[in-house]
Chains A and B, each alone.
Chain A
């Protein structure tokens, strides 16, 4: 090996160190608080409070995907128990976790 050639290990370890530094940078980037993002988040939160919003506007194609938390108890099986989901979103979203408050209260004493 001539003295001017870079050893493969030097090259590999440098590359690996660079990748590790980039990885550390992502962790640091995620940890840094952002004033602008915080302001935007507060603005969104204020809108949620003002309008009384309950859901994210991620899936607008059907009422039970637009407002999964407000969907009626049977929306997941609205046609019949083994019906295929109409909307692709149905395969991404979990069925809403319904509370049992109403049913517990309805139990006879």
Chain B
């Protein structure tokens, strides 16, 4: 065993000396490889953690949201509609929700105005989300005016700011009293944006939704399950801009690996020829090259993954920010809870380390089984 280990160490020594002879090329390769793993791992870690966060947080969202559709578009819930819902068995609680969007021309941002049903906001006051606080430079006790769609100016006093920890769901929220909301948007009395339903028995949710759809044909029930599924599939990392940007990097690396796989440089061939001529066995040469592939790909994988972990969970995934921000002016600042999916890491390992190791081994095996004289002559 000790002898075997010592032999491997000598092989590694030799491999490293050989790599050092082509320092620039091999360091460049290691650099590109590490960056590729870093970007792929960053995307995988970020999307996985975000999905986990969404599943954890949105588990508390209403069981059923009932919208009313008119000509395929979301419309207001008219008076008397909520009462019809109440007659469906299984529905424990029903609440009309009031919410809508407001475009603030001052900072060119969209806000979500909402009325909390627990009456926690007094008339004339508002509670704002952390991103809104930042963008308008607000603090508790400040006054702020918004011009409503009817042209009237409405002034509110900021009662408080929502906790920064909840920014992922509350960045652009602005909570206000029901009367203020109706006055601001000229919302017709007795109308609501949609209805939130609480269903006593979780097994009954689907039945309730079916009954709702039958009793109120113009309604569209949105189940919590559906909300969770939408977020489970959000940022499918095989799709979208991130992958489009990545495809160039993947392609470049593919070319690099192909170049390596499709043939050896004259210098490398000569080296193999000399090694065989001085008595190296084919197995030794393959072992040496195996170490070369493993050292480069393992170093790149480990360094790339660790850097991606730090980037996503400790540096706020700063590199993705411009991509994820899109055209939004308000963007939540949030820290993701570290989550690592074992299968994802294994997949990443398999698709980054193995192809390279194989790409290195195949041409070497071909060269190593040919006659040393022929190899040296090229």
- Residue numbers of A with Cβ under 8 A of B are 7-9, 11-13, 15-16, 19-20, 22-23, 26-27, 29-31, 34, 37, 40-41, 43-63, 65-66, 68-70, 72-74, 87-89, 91-94, 96-99, 101-102, 104-106
Docked Cα-Cα span, A23 to B307, in Å, equals: 10
Given contacts A60-B171, A88-B326, contact A93 B234 (CB under 8 A): yes
- Residue numbers of B with Cβ under 8 A of A are 9-10, 12-13, 16-17, 20, 53-54, 56-62, 65, 67, 69, 72-74, 95, 97, 101, 109-112, 114, 116-118, 120, 129, 131, 162-163, 165-173, 175, 194, 196, 206, 209-210, 213-214, 217, 219-223, 226-227, 229-231, 233-236, 239-242, 244, 295, 298-299, 302-303, 305-306, 309, 313, 323-324, 326-332, 337-340
Most interface-central of B12, B95, B120, B206 (chain A CB within 10 A): B12
Contact of A70 with B65 in the complex, beta carbons under 8 Å: yes
Residues of B within 8 A of A62 (CB): 110
CB B125 to nearest CB in A, in angstroms, measures 16
Docked Cα-Cα span, A91 to B245, in Å, equals: 12
CB B242 to nearest CB in A, in angstroms, measures 7
Docked Cα-Cα span, A55 to B209, in Å, equals: 20
Residues of B within 8 A of A15 (CB): 299
Closest to A105 in B: B213
> Could you pull out 23 A-B pairs where Cβ atoms are within 8 angstroms?
A8-B20, A19-B302, A23-B306, A29-B309, A30-B340, A37-B337, A45-B60, A47-B166, A48-B57, A52-B61, A60-B112, A60-B330, A66-B110, A69-B231, A72-B67, A73-B69, A74-B73, A92-B235, A97-B229, A101-B210, A105-B210, A105-B213, A106-B217
Residues of A within 8 A of B339 (CB): 30
Docked Cα-Cα span, A78 to B101, in Å, equals: 18
Secondary structure class of chain A's binding surface, majority of residues: helix
Question: Within the complex, which residue of A47, A52, A94 is in contact with B196, where a contact is CB–CB below 8 Å?
Answer: A52
7 closest A-B pairs by CB: A19-B302, A40-B165, A105-B213, A8-B16, A9-B12, A49-B60, A57-B171
CB B256 to nearest CB in A, in angstroms, measures 21
Closest to B211 in A: A105
Contact of B65 with A72 in the complex, beta carbons under 8 Å: no
Contact of A51 with B332 in the complex, beta carbons under 8 Å: no
CB B245 to nearest CB in A, in angstroms, measures 11
Docked Cα-Cα span, A70 to B234, in Å, equals: 14
Contact of A23 with B302 in the complex, beta carbons under 8 Å: yes
Contact of B169 with A19 in the complex, beta carbons under 8 Å: no
Contact of B241 with A52 in the complex, beta carbons under 8 Å: no
Residues of A within 8 A of B214 (CB): 105
Contact of A102 with B220 in the complex, beta carbons under 8 Å: yes
Contact of B226 with A98 in the complex, beta carbons under 8 Å: yes
Contact of B213 with A101 in the complex, beta carbons under 8 Å: yes
Contact of A102 with B219 in the complex, beta carbons under 8 Å: yes
Residues of A within 8 A of B20 (CB): 8
Question: Within the complex, which residue of B10, B61, B213, B241 is in contact with A54, where a contact is CB–CB below 8 Å?
Answer: B61
Docked Cα-Cα span, A90 to B340, in Å, equals: 27
Contact of A61 with B61 in the complex, beta carbons under 8 Å: no
Docked Cα-Cα span, A45 to B169, in Å, equals: 9
CB A43 to nearest CB in B, in angstroms, measures 6
Contact of A16 with B209 in the complex, beta carbons under 8 Å: no
Contact of A60 with B239 in the complex, beta carbons under 8 Å: no
Docked Cα-Cα span, A69 to B214, in Å, equals: 21
Docked Cα-Cα span, A40 to B10, in Å, equals: 53
Contact of A19 with B209 in the complex, beta carbons under 8 Å: no
Contact of A54 with B62 in the complex, beta carbons under 8 Å: yes
Question: Within the complex, which residue of B173, B221, B323, B332 is in contact with A92, where a contact is CB–CB below 8 Å?
Answer: B323
CB A12 to nearest CB in B, in angstroms, measures 6
Docked Cα-Cα span, A54 to B244, in Å, equals: 29
Question: Within the complex, which residue of B117, B219, B231, B295 is in contact with A56, where a contact is CB–CB below 8 Å?
Answer: B231
Contact of A68 with B168 in the complex, beta carbons under 8 Å: no
CB B301 to nearest CB in A, in angstroms, measures 8
Question: Within the complex, which residue of A20, A53, A59, A106 is in contact with B328, where a contact is CB–CB below 8 Å?
Answer: A59
Docked Cα-Cα span, A9 to B196, in Å, equals: 65
CB A6 to nearest CB in B, in angstroms, measures 11
CB B113 to nearest CB in A, in angstroms, measures 12
Residues of A within 8 A of B328 (CB): 59-61, 65, 89
